[in-house]
């Protein structure tokens, strides 16, 4: 039977009782399940809920506004390079996080929780606000004061209460936890194990997109790690169900300016490694102390993948190349495309390999910023 588990001390908790951390104060985890076969898909659902049989607990009335089933397209990147691009920025609120939010809030509402607080640098808050509105839930989002105005406007538009906090991303988290203890349930996408149950549908969807096969490689931008860990969970379940022959290599793209996963992976340790933190245009990955660092390093090792640190100029160059192909994404998403270029140049992957680059967030939320970045770097403004 599936349970919440503290991966450090092994303590377990009943899934019927919503919680966001263990008694020791650590984030919880749900072990990979037994997976699905094509026959188990719910073809009546044109969303992530077609994979509902892969969830560890029944959810009777999901909050769904069409998340998932995003396009998988191929473009020439450089000569003889034709990677796939998973357009997850086309999810309803403009980011891949809708996968996790749909499952997380559906689970919480199913168990009687109607009021939640979230801390976010933008996309996570917008997603929780949107799905909260769709599900009739009260939502408060606490965000860093530096969050893009477009993302704040989106959160407001969905009717959520917004509180801006000066200081680091961690300062917003601390304030949200303080308020959660006294008032609302803490539905943070970095802490909640059920959020990962939603992001694992990305792996199932790629499997279905590719005629029920796994790709050779998947490259994702990484901050807190929900896309990376979701992919690892989903593909691990598909392997257990004997639906794929081997795990795809997973690659974690981070900005060099804020790259704690790369620092630890490069040092071959599960512990944090000191590396200078600087501002980055990839704001969605600007998380200096990710909660699930050890699990992310383990996922990269398990799939024979690796981390890739990307400079700010490399992010802008990839952003320009994506725009030239009609793909307007935020700088955070461009990390994955920049990592692809670097991995091919280094000979880690081949241009002929079946590689999926996950584009996680829409550029429409930060179009003025993107225009300025491209103009200042010598590229035409949007």
Residue 305 sits in the same domain as residue 357: yes
| pLDDT tier at 368, thresholds 50, 70, 90 | confident
pLDDT value at residue 148: 79
Residue 159 sits in the same domain as residue 218: no
Tokens of 281: 């245009």
pLDDT value at residue 380: 60
Give yes or no for a contact between 186 and 217, defined as CB atoms under 8 angstroms apart.
no
Distance of alpha carbon 112 from the chain centroid: 26
pLDDT value at residue 196: 98
Bridge partners (DSSP) of residue 12 are 5
pLDDT value at residue 146: 82
Element (H or E) spanning 307, and its range? Answer: strand 306-310
CA-based nearest residue to 353, from 152, 81, 8: 81
pLDDT value at residue 235: 99
Residue by residue, DSSP assigns 55-98 as: SSS--SS---SS-S---EEE---STT---EEEEGGGSTTSBTHH
| pLDDT tier at 328, thresholds 50, 70, 90 | very high
Residue 260 sits in the same domain as residue 361: yes
Tell me the pLDDT tens digit for each residue of 240-299: 999 999 999 999 999 999 999 999 999 999 999 999 999 999 988 989 999 999 999 999
Residue 183 sits in the same domain as residue 332: no
Q: What is the mean pLDDT of residues 57-68?
A: 96
Domain range for 207 is 72-94+194-376
Give dist(CA 220, CA 358) in Å, integer.
5
Residue 125 sits in the same domain as residue 90: no
Bridge partners (DSSP) of residue 161 are 140
Give dist(CA 41, CA 137) in Å, integer.
29
pLDDT at 317 over 60: yes
Distance spanning both ends of the chain, measured CA to CA: 52
Neighbours of 349 (CB within 10 A): 21
pLDDT value at residue 367: 85
Residue 296 sits in the same domain as residue 349: yes
Tell me the pLDDT tens digit for each residue of 87-101: 999 999 999 999 999
Q: Which residues contact 79 (CB under 8 A, 6 or more apart)?
A: none
- Mark which of 123, 156, 189 sits at the end of a domain: 189
Element (H or E) spanning 132, and its range? Answer: helix 123-134
Residue bearing the bigger pLDDT, 170 or 18: 18
Tell me the pLDDT tens digit for each residue of 178-195: 888 777 899 998 999 999
- What percentage of the chain carries pLDDT values higher than 90? 84
- Mark which of 189, 221, 245 sits at the end of a domain: 189
Give yes or no for a contact between 213 and 235, defined as CB atoms under 8 angstroms apart.
no
pLDDT at 335 over 70: yes
- What percentage of the chain carries pLDDT values higher than 70? 98
Q: What is the mean pLDDT of residues 7-20?
A: 95
């Amino acid at each position: 039977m599936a349970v919440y588990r503290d991966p450090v001390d092994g303590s377990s908790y009943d899934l019927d009782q919503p919680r966001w951390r263990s008694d020791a104060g650590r984030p919880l985890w749900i072990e990979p399940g037994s997976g699905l076969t094509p026959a188990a898909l719910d073809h009546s659902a044109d969303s992530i809920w077609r994979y509902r049989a892969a969830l560890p607990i029944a959810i009777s009335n999901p909050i769904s506004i069409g998340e998932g089933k995003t396009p998988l397209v191929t473009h020439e990147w450089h000569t003889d390079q034709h990677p796939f691009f998973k357009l997850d920025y086309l999810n309803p609120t403009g980011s891949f996080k809708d996968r996790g939010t749909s499952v997380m809030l559906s689970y919480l509402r199913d168990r009687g929780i109607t009021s939640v607080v979230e801390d976010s640098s933008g996309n996570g808050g917008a997603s929780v606000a949107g799905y909260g509105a769709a599900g009739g839930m009260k939502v408060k989002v606490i965000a860093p004061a530096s969050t893009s105005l477009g993302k704040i406007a989106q959160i407001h538009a969905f009717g959520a209460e917004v509180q801006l906090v000066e200081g680091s991303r961690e300062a917003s988290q601390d304030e949200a936890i303080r308020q959660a203890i006294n008032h609302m349930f803490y539905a943070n996408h970095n802490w909640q194990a059920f959020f990962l149950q939603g992001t694992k549908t990305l792996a199932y969807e790629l499997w279905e997109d590719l005629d029920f096969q796994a790709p050779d490689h998947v490259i994702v931008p990484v901050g807190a790690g929900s896309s990376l860990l979701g992919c690892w969970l989903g593909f691990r379940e598909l392997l257990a169900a004997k639906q794929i022959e081997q795990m795809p290599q997973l690659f974690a793209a981070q900005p060099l300016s804020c790259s704690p996963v790369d620092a630890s992976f490069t040092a071959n340790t599960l512990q944090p490694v000191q590396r200078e933190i600087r501002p980055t245009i990839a704001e969605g990955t600007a998380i200096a102390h990710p909660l699930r660092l050890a699990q992310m390093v383990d996922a990269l090792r398990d799939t024979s993948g690796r981390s890739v640190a990307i400079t700010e100029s490399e992010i802008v160059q990839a952003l320009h190349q994506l725009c030239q192909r009609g793909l307007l994404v935020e700088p955070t998403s461009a990390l994955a495309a920049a990592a692809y270029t670097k991995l091919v140049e280094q000979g880690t992957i081949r241009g002929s390999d079946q590689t999926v680059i996950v584009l996680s967030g829409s550029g429409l939320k930060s179009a003025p910023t993107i225009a300025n970045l491209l103009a200042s770097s010598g590229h035409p403004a949007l």
